[in-house]
Amino acid sequence: TQIEQALRNAIITDAVDVHFQPIVRIRDGVVVGFEALARWRDADLGFVSPAVFVPLAEERGFIDALSDTLLRKAAEAALSWPRELFLSFNLSSAQLMDPGTSRNILSTLSRVGLDPRRLELEITETAVMTSADTAQRIISELRASGVRISLDDFGTGQSSLGRLRDFTFDKVKIDRAFISRITSDRASEHIVRAIIAMCQGLDLSVVAEGIEEQADVDMLRALGCGMGQGYHYGRPVDGAATLRYLQDHY
Ligand code: G
Ligand code: G
Ligand code: MN
Ligand code: NA
């Protein structure tokens, strides 16, 4: 298809870009890391969402090439940051079915020169479920090298709680569906409260996604949530704007 050919071409010509969104310590608003988010604008197609082109690359079998180039760019950017903030990078489900993934990631990091302890990989419940044994092996190999693993979009997948028992994660990212209603809907507030308490008991870090208002911050601070992310703190922006953001924020 046209879009597939354009995407393959964009990978070869290094035209797929990475933006970064701040992740902040809620207690004091200090920036602790950034999530890398793929961005692609094609001359003919215009902006294409990663929600479209990532699944396409998975389906057509070139997600490794796409992810390699994105991780390389993201890791290079992370090296230019003035502090040793962590880099959070999304892994797709197809990558968790491929036994070569851990080696690919570690070799990209080593080529760029980014310490694996600065990398966090975001995976979803659906992804770990589809190929549990392979996923578990990939996760173990990466964690053994110091890479941390985040469970993304937490609360929206299937059998979330069992995943926390069976797999080894470092962090949980509470899906923004809960955060967007946290000040208006008592059920969402109770669910978020329970997730935070559970994470404390399991010794997992927790990030609230989709924070858009100061009222959300106030509530999450009262609930003892460690980290937050969302438009309230900053939208995803390109590498240069990320450096400027870091000059203006702690
Ligand atoms: O930033 P945005 O809302 O457009 O992202 C849409 C979806 O694409 C999100 O689910 C996000 O996790 C995913 N995504 C963004 N960048 C990457 C990437 O580099 N790799 C993978 N696998 N998914 C990504
Ligand atoms: O699936 P994942 O959580 O990786 O997707 C992250 C996506 O959420 C990014 O595409 C980003 O653009 C989007 N996002 C980040 N912060 C906010 C926010 O505060 N509100 C909304 N609606 N979307 C957000
Ligand atoms: Mn994510
Ligand atoms: Na998420």
Residues lower than pLDDT 70 in the chain: 158-160
Contact 245, 215 (CB under 8 A): no
The pLDDT of residue 238 is: 98
Which residues line ion ligand 4, judged by CB < 5 Å?
152-153, 209
Tell me: the pLDDT tens digits for 161-188? 777 887 789 999 999 999 999 999 999 9
pLDDT given at position 158:
67
Ligand 1 pocket mutation pick from 62, 71, 89, 90 by most atoms within 8 angstroms of CB:
90
Q: Say what the ipTM of the complex is.
A: 0.97
Per CATH, which fold does 2-248 belong to?
TIM Barrel (3.20.20)
What's the pLDDT at 73?
Answer: 98
CA distance 200 to 4: 44
Structure tokens at 230: 């969302």
Count Cα neighbours of 208 within 13 Å in the Cβ-side half-sphere: 34
Phi, psi for 137 (deg, rounded to 5): -65, -45
| Nearest residue (CA) to ligand 1, atom 15 | 37
Task: Give the model's pLDDT for residue 76.
Answer: 98
For residue 81, what is the DSSP state?
A: S
pLDDT of res. 209: 98
